[in-house]
């Protein structure tokens, strides 16, 4: 696609445009922190998010920047080292003076930085699906909560695929463990017997899947339709899916629905044995909307490689970045308190159709899609919600969480408000 800049250049107007943009941007730059792993086990997923943020910042500067000032990206590499995330977050906020940070992937990295953002009163936009059970004043959760991914995916498998036995397979850290705790409670509330639920955890970067996949195959041979719900994260997905193929586990036998495998991860796999397996997200590159077409074209122009893909966390950064821009413009300042107050209720287009809204619990509204892996590494959408689903910070299926809600507006201003005791601070004994 020919870029807007190239069209103007052809008309002899590029110089005038660039001069007027430069004049519109004056004063010190507004610094934007990018906190994503560019090395280590999570680089397979996070490097693209760094690139997406650089693109979004470049595009905003083409529009004249923000508040008449240019945006400047400040990139650091926490290297898939969870304590290093906190150190790098502090470096961005205290050392570099960034006004907002876009970053993290794993929940353990997010948990690592939460005290830093609270202490220094800065803002984090977190773009990845997570386990819920959290709402922090300084964090905006633009990825899916469990009710926007995990629960609808299980409903799809149960209602559309007739699944009766469940393998909950995850990487051993907080997101898979908490998500599976919620799913186990949800499945049992739907009448699934405990013996029909198998749970397995492996470390980051796990590579020897032969025994585990064999166990899954045995578990699925009991005469009941079985599925794997996968919260396996990072580069461990590559040998996991390869071993499924090695042992002849086809999607028609034991379908896998993944919450951490998107287009970027599939780009590193031989997808032939994976055709028919599933993923649940709020966005797929294959979605046919004008907004998505424009986003893909901008991305391919920026990255300079027609083989690069887009994915769900990139869309979450797109939504979060545009919400931040609108909130800053609304507040007339990048001051954290003013932006936090002004961003609730902001709506921006998502890429799958419709407007996503920032809710008082600092989660957003999103559609939920289930996609089937195709042999070209893309997904064919096989199911989606009728409308946008509001993100729920606290699960209705855990007794300790069911009474809780989050609302960062007056008069509640609390991330774990107990609706039974009408007090902030969660469940009281």
Q: Residue 19 burial by CB count (10 A; 0-12/13-18/19+): exposed, middle or buried?
A: exposed
Judged against a pLDDT cut of 80, whether residue 360 lies above it is answered with yes
Q: What is the pLDDT of residues 132-159, one digit of tens each?
A: 999 999 999 999 999 999 999 999 999 9
Q: What is the DSSP letter of 1?
A: -
What CA–CA distance (Å, rounded) separates 350 from 264?
19
Token couple for 15: 């110089």
Cβ-based neighbour number of residue 381 at 10 Å: 15
**Model pTM?**
0.89
For 41, what's the count of Cα atoms within 13 Å in the CB-facing half-sphere?
17
What does the DSSP assignment read for 136-174?
-TTEEE-S--GGGTHHHHHHHHHHHS---EEEEEEESSH
Beta pairing partners, 372: 278, 380
Cβ-based neighbour number of residue 16 at 10 Å: 11
26: confidence class by pLDDT, cuts 50, 70, 90 = low
Q: What is the pLDDT of residues 185-213, one digit of tens each?
A: 999 999 999 999 999 999 999 999 999 99
CA angle 202, 239, 160 (to 5 degrees): 80
Run of H or E including 297: helix 290-303
CB 225 within 8 A of CB 197: no
Tokens 């896998």 — which residue? 256
CA distances from 154 to 46, 197, 229, 262 (A): 26, 13, 8, 18
Query: What is the set of domains in the chain, with CATH numbers?
Result: 4-144+288-366 (3.40.50.2300), 147-287+371-390 (3.40.50.2300), 399-429 (no CATH)
- pLDDT of the residue at 241: 87
Q: What is the pLDDT of residues 29-74, one digit of tens each?
A: 999 999 999 999 899 889 999 999 999 999 999 999 999 999 999 9
List alpha helices for 63-196, DSSP H: 82-90, 107-120, 150-160, 174-189
Q: For the chain, what percent of residues have pLDDT higher than 70?
A: 93
CA distances from 243 to 43, 45, 104 (A): 22, 21, 29
Q: What is the pLDDT of residues 371-388, one digit of tens each?
A: 999 999 999 999 999 999
CB 122 within 8 A of CB 93: yes
CB 275 within 8 A of CB 245: no
Judged against a pLDDT cut of 80, whether residue 7 lies above it is answered with no
């Amino acid at each position: 696609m020919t870029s807007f800049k190239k069209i103007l250049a052809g008309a002899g107007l590029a110089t005038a445009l660039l001069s007027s943009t430069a004049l519109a941007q004056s004063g010190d730059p507004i610094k934007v922190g990018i906190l994503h792993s560019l090395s280590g086990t999570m680089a397979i997923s996070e490097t693209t998010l760094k690139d997406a943020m650089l693109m979004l910042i470049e595009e905003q500067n083409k529009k004249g920047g923000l508040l008449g000032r240019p945006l400047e990206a400040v990139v650091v590499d926490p290297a898939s080292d969870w304590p290093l995330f906190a150190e790098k977050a502090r470096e961005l906020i205290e050392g570099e003076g960034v006004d907002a940070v876009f970053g993290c992937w794993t929940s353990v990295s997010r948990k690592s930085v939460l005290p830093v953002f609270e202490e220094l009163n800065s803002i984090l936009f977190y773009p990845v699906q997570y386990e819920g059970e959290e709402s922090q004043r300084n964090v905006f959760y633009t990825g899916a909560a469990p009710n926007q991914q995990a629960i609808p995916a299980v409903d799809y498998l149960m209602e559309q695929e007739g699944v009766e036995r469940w393998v909950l397979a995850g990487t051993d850290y907080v997101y898979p463990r908490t998500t599976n705790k919620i799913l186990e409670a949800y499945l049992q509330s739907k009448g699934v017997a405990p013996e029909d639920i198998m749970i397995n955890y492996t470390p980051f970067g796990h590579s020897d899947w032969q025994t585990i996949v064999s166990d899954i195959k045995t578990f699925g041979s009991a005469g009941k339709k079985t599925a794997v719900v996968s919260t396996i994260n990072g580069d461990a997905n590559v040998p996991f899916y390869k071993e499924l193929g090695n042992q002849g586990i086809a999607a028609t036998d034991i379908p896998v629905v993944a919450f951490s495998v998107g287009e970027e991860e599939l780009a590193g796999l031989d997808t032939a044995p994976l055709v028919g397996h599933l993923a649940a997200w709020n966005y797929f590159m294959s979605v046919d909307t004008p907004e998505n077409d424009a986003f893909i074209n901008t991305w391919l122009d920026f990255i300079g490689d027609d083989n690069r893909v887009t994915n769900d966390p990139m869309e979450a950064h797109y939504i979060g970045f545009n919400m931040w821009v609108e909130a800053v413009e609304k507040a007339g300042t990048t001051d954290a308190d003013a932006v936090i107050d002004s961003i609730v209720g902001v709506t921006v287009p998502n890429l799958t159709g419709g407007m996503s809204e920032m809710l008082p619990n600092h989660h957003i509204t999103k559609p939920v899609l289930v996609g089937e892996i195709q042999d070209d590494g893309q997904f064919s959408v096989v199911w989606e919600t009728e409308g946008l689903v509001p993100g729920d910070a606290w699960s209705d299926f855990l007794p300790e969480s069911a009474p809780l809600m989050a609302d960062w507006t007056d008069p509640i201003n609390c991330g774990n408000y107990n609706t039974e005791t009408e007090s902030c601070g969660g469940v009281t004994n």
